[in-house]
Amino acid sequence: MSHHSTERRVVVTGLGVVTALGRSMDALWGNLIEGRCGISRITAFDPAPFDCQIAAEIRDFDPSPAFSSPKEVRRNDRFIQFAAVAGLEAIRDSGLELEREDRDRVGVYIGSGIGGLHTTAEQHRILLEKGPGRLSPFMIPMLIMNMAAGCFSILHKLRGPTLATCSACATSAHAIGEAWRTLKMGDADAIFAGGTEAAVIPLGLGGFCAMRALSTRNDDPQRASRPFDAQRDGFVMGEGAGVLVLEELEHARRRGARIYCEIAGYGNTADASHITAPAPEGEGAARCMRMALRSAGLRPEEVGYINAHGTSTLQGDICETQAIKAVFGDHARRLPVSSTKGATGHLLGAAGAVEMAICAQVLQTGIIPPTINHEHPDPECDLDYVPGASRQAQVDVALNNSFGFGGHNASLLARKFRG
């Protein structure tokens, strides 16, 4: 074991999410283990002209509890609003009393893959129709992708290490990993870490359609996202946010915090292969998982559950399966691997954090969520994907994978907390 008594340990003490499958962690978890799905036909605009007409869309979203006034709500893009609401749930869930904390030692690592796309599209429309004189003075701060972190730190007067990661679909897993590092270095006592995304608009949907990355099973939205299933035909976009409270162990103990799990290791590698396709045989992902295991001082056979990146794309699911087999060998056959994206859709920059919150619940409850819609075995995807229904299992260590365009890989290891 690599843990010296002097080494700072990092635990998860708060969870907050905003997703189409549930606006709170309790709602998300309940729906997830029941095998429900948050994907439906898009209502925010008319999706008829698009090849893909479905998404995990958050309807009737009310951001007002996280802000002081309706004016403040209007001055923040939807991606910032999602982060503010998820972050507020994380504060409440953690029991952190911020007015009693040294705010110089509480930080915010909240990233986004795409940032304020609503603002970008709307302001571009105004520029073309009405000219530059009508652009909003808030345009730039509303769309730049550091502003979920910036605004959250301002809202709660958090003055510690603050950063916005951006690595496409690996964004929020990297945020959590980098926050873990910062806490281990001793530069903060607690960090709000995660990601947020609000790209379900015509421009975002159209762009992913043009790549042929999305499922076109428009007549059956609930069964469109089918990770590792032989009939998968692409991912389904989701929107929302996930924010976790990462805390140095002794700091958490002193205030009697409830501890979900301990963050044990982190891997961060690049494929250096292709802008969107994974490296052949998932080579970069395999190196990433190995790095996470090494940094945690854990053996592959100690891992009891993998929350896969598993987006339901043809190549991605195969490469991740190959990578898991390369890293885990014989143990891969006995290892439950589920992708929750069948239920939540793919939250892009927020995916890793929402899935890390799910891993925290797995370690807390001993329930593994299913891969829904996994009905037809794919000979190239031949692991135990926990098809159909959740199951009870003894899980001491969970691995969370997130892989992004550009060849960015992130793996996070969490273990059941034992004093």
The pLDDT tens digits for 315-344 are 999 999 999 999 999 999 999 999 999 999
CA of residue 321 relative to chain centroid, distance? 20
194 and 232 fall within a common domain: yes
Residue ending a domain, choose from 235, 254, 273: 254
409 and 301 fall within a common domain: yes
The pLDDT mean for the chain works out to 97
Residue ending a domain, choose from 191, 220, 254: 254
183 and 299 fall within a common domain: no
Give the model's pLDDT for residue 302: 98
Domain membership of residue 385 as a residue range: 265-415
Per-residue pLDDT reduced to its tens digit, 166-176: 999 999 999 99
Greater pLDDT, 70 or 419: 70
Give the model's pLDDT for residue 7: 85
110 and 72 fall within a common domain: yes
* Confidence grade of residue 6 (pLDDT, cut at 50, 70, 90): low
The alpha helices in 274-313, defined as continuous H runs, are 283-296
Contact 218, 308 (CB under 8 A): no
Inform me whether the pLDDT recorded for 86 exceeds 90: yes
Q: What is the mean pLDDT of residues 185-204?
A: 98
The angle formed by the CA atoms of residues 250, 252 and 257, to the nearest 5 degrees, is: 145
Per-residue pLDDT reduced to its tens digit, 218-247: 999 999 999 999 999 999 999 999 999 999
The answer as to whether 165 is a domain residue is: yes
Residues in the chain, total:
419
The answer as to whether 259 is a domain residue is: no
Per DSSP, 134 falls in state G
Cβ atoms within 10 Å of 229's Cβ, excluding its own: 23
Per-residue pLDDT reduced to its tens digit, 97-128: 999 999 999 999 999 999 999 999 999 999 99
The answer as to whether 2 is a domain residue is: no
297 and 240 fall within a common domain: no
Query: Judging by beta carbons within 10 Å of its beta carbon (0-12, 13-18, 19+), is residue 88 exposed, middle or buried?
Result: buried
For the annotated catalytic residues, the residue numbers are 169, 309, 346
372 and 232 fall within a common domain: no
Per-residue pLDDT reduced to its tens digit, 350-392: 999 999 999 999 999 999 999 999 999 999 999 999 999 999 9
250 and 312 fall within a common domain: no
Nearest to 355, CA basis, from 297, 311, 302, 408: 311
Cβ atoms within 10 Å of 265's Cβ, excluding its own: 23
Cross-sheet strand order for the sheet of 162-163: 162-163, 106-111, 190-197, 240-248, 10-18, 261-270, 408-415, 397-404, 305-307, 337-338
CA separation for the pair 82, 61 (Å, rounded): 9
The answer as to whether 238 is a domain residue is: yes
CATH number at residue 89: 3.40.47.10
20 and 164 fall within a common domain: yes
CA separation for the pair 261, 218 (Å, rounded): 39
Inform me whether the pLDDT recorded for 45 exceeds 70: yes
101 and 155 fall within a common domain: yes
The answer as to whether 5 is a domain residue is: no
34 and 179 fall within a common domain: yes
Give the model's pLDDT for residue 323: 98
The answer as to whether 105 is a domain residue is: yes
The answer as to whether 3 is a domain residue is: no
CA separation for the pair 333, 329 (Å, rounded): 8
CA separation for the pair 415, 264 (Å, rounded): 6
231 and 274 fall within a common domain: no
Cβ atoms within 10 Å of 206's Cβ, excluding its own: 13
In this structure, the strands spanning 106-111 and 397-404 are unpaired
Task: List CB contacts of 67: < 8 A, sequence separation 6 or more.
Answer: 73, 76, 81, 84, 155
Residue ending a domain, choose from 254, 289, 309: 254
Per-residue pLDDT reduced to its tens digit, 125-184: 999 999 999 999 999 999 999 999 999 999 999 999 999 999 999 999 999 999 999 999
Contact 330, 380 (CB under 8 A): no
The token pair that represents 301 in the structure block? 């056979």
Inform me whether the pLDDT recorded for 2 exceeds 70: no
Q: What is the mean pLDDT of residues 59-73?
A: 97
Per DSSP, 66 falls in state G
Q: Into how many domains does the chain fold?
A: 2
Inform me whether the pLDDT recorded for 5 exceeds 70: no
Contact 267, 387 (CB under 8 A): no
307 and 380 fall within a common domain: yes
The pTM of this model reads: 0.98
Q: How far lies 63's CA from each of 56, 78, 142, 418, in Å?
A: 18, 9, 15, 37
Per-residue pLDDT reduced to its tens digit, 253-286: 999 999 999 999 999 999 999 999 999 999 999 9
